[in-house]
Chain A
Amino acid sequence: MDPFILSFAVVNGLLQGGIYGGIALGLSLIFGVLRVVNFAHGSFLMLSLYLSFWCWNLLGIDPYLSAIVTVPAMFALGYFVQSVIISPLIRRERALVVEPLSALLLTCGVFLVLDNVALMAFGPDVRSVQLSYYLPSLMLGPIPVNIPRLIAALAAILVAVGVSFWLRHSHAGRAIRATAQNRDAAAMSGIDVPKVYAVTFGLGCAILGLFGALISPFIPATPTIGLAFGIKSFIVVVLGGMGSIPGSIIGGLVIGVFEAVASQFVTATSAAIFSLGLFILVLLVRPAGIMGKA
């Protein structure tokens, strides 16, 4: 194997992996706090891609600036989905009818609705944003680095650090962590648990809003793109450890590099098969993931 091609693959894999990790952050956060596997995760990303596209197409807003629109919009949507659709189920589960799969099914319903509403509204066409300026590739030695991807990957790390810091040091963050540890004890200490849940879900979706804007320069919006990213996020989160913020980034980097290097030996689609295989292997051997508590 040519060392140049290999290092090129590793650099690209790291960028791609950082983006995977950033997209998976919300899934991990929501699972960590609510214990809900959000099947609609990719659909929220798909919606933010569309939102970013329409901001650019109709209003002429630069895709990077469109984050000002997508982040609050996705926060509001997440807040709404949690407080209107998922919270009745959590209230019922408290009354001893514990059925962890119900939440998965419920979000599966959200996935069906969102994806197909997008299909009805926008049709199956592929829509991509064109940046009005040219971003030259950064040269890392002999290796060219794509700037939009670098921005998204760096943003993933910044967001992960920011969210971890916020969870650790802010009052709201402490409330979220307390609720994740023991929701009944948190409720008895005066924490408004339903609100914490809604804010967490909103935050998870707001992160997707940000990444929808950041990846729109190089990922075109289609109504069905959500599921692929959703499944990728499941892989990343399981690998890194469900509920772990740093685990999400590390899992993303591992998958990104793994796929990039594997696709030097086999086709890119077969590399996707390998990462699914890795996912199954991790679930069977170490379900807690790399950073999770075993």
Chain B
Amino acid sequence: MIEFVLDGRSKVNTYVQLVQQVKQALRVGMLTPGDQLPKVRDVARSLAINPNTVLKAYRELELEGLVEGRPGVGTFVKATLASAPMSDQAELRGDLVAWVHRARDAGLTPDDVTALVQTTIRASYPRQEEHA
């Protein structure tokens, strides 16, 4: 079972924060198919948030086919987001580390690197940008 944590300073909508946290847990393998999400009542109580907000987040995850609600039982994970196996990620990470070192040696600041990465992501994943 995961526990939701809200970023109080974030401008991101509360329900979006819940959706993002579930997706992150799916990506890193903290949640796998069959796992149950916390009950709406428990999330509402522990975070002191409106239960409709939790329902909205779970509905969105359901629409994306990631979870399914079983009436009277709870909400369960149906799919996974862990895409590339960890071994591939290690290789990608190695490439990235080498590239970041080149950028640093070329005199780029961390902010320059972030900006460059973000514009590249935007150009390479044109549709996901709208959603984020």
The finding on whether chains A and B are genuine partners in a shared complex, rather than unrelated, reads no
Which residues of A approach B to under 8 Å, CB–CB? none
Which residues of B approach A to under 8 Å, CB–CB? none
